[in-house]
Structure 1
Amino acid sequence: MTNQEIIAKLPYSKPFLFVDEIVQIDENGVEGTYVFDDSLYFYNGHFKDNPITPGVILTEVMAQIGLVCLGIFLLNDSFNQRSSIALTSTEMEFLKPVFPNEKVIVISEKIYFRFGKLKCKVKMINEREEVVCMGTIAGMIV
């Protein structure tokens, strides 16, 4: 399965698709990117006159790239239209703000994938190679 095929299988669409590119993926992890366009709806009221990306959105980006893309890759052909990956837990530490028009890189390392549950160690870095946030994220294949 190609990286574009994985992105096409994601159960999201704009404006809630937060994956631009999968840079690398294998059975142990994934690396992908996303650019936060300044026209995204959540910037309109999140810290007026100085918008920053909400932590819940940063978590969603890490979930889409670091958990769902990896889960689709691991399931390969058994992931279909009726399949989905439901978030079950997160533990995040937010270290730096992400501003409109910033590109971020998500790096996810598989901790385990068994009995339909995928758990990963994830981190997000900015283009200056600073860690923006990091933690663990888990989900169930349903």
Structure 2
Amino acid sequence: MQPDKELREQILELIPQQAPFRFVDEILEVDGDRIVGTYRFKEDEFFYPGHFPGAPITPGVILIETMAQTGAVGHGIYLMMQKGMSLDDIKSQVTVFSLADQVEFFTMVAPGTRVIVTGEKVFYRRGALRSSVTMAGEDGNLICRGTLTGTGVRLHG
């Protein structure tokens, strides 16, 4: 059974990255093994004027960050909720990268493109989530993929 819209919106609200560095618009699906989210790269994103002037494309590091925010952070928040972690405990943590492995890029992403990110849990233990993550366009064509690991760390105290 798919979590209701209210739970998916709550997970989205708990993702600590905020504008202009939030790259998740919506969580479509989530369960213990998988998450699917979307993001549309706006025409006026802060990085386009410099990457590249007159011919903007989305930087690869931003694509990895986009995959991580859904596939590691959003999914990790869901898994913490399922383990009974309080919302205050979840809010006191951020997820930091501990591994970005075998990341491959297949095509460029232009301003205005809507992407679909799918993360599949490889393992979740001791606060670390390793996920196999893919990003595709709305047409289903693969943009990039990789294995990402995020670990929750406390922000304060």
> Which category describes the TM-score, using the shorter chain as reference length?
over 0.9
Q: CA deviation at 1:96?
A: 0.4
Q: CA deviation at 1:13?
A: 1.2
1:49-89 C-alpha deviation (Å, 9 max, x unpaired): 11000000000000001110000000015242212211111
Aligned mate of 1:20, from 20, 25, 38: 25
TM-score by length of 2: 0.87
Structure 2 letter corresponding to 1:18: F
Q: Which runs of 5+ in 1 are unaligned?
A: none
TM-score by length of 1: 0.96
1:78-108 C-alpha deviation (Å, 9 max, x unpaired): 2422122111110210110000000000011
Tell me the secondary structure at the aligned position of residue 2 of structure 1: helix
Q: Which runs of 5+ in 2 are unaligned?
A: 1-5
Counterpart in 2 of 1:104? 115
Counterpart in 1 of 2:128? 117
Equivalences, count = 142
Counterpart Cα distance in 2 of 1:26 and 1:81: 20
Counterpart in 2 of 1:65? 70
- Overall identity of the aligned pairs, in %: 39
Counterpart in 2 of 1:43? 48
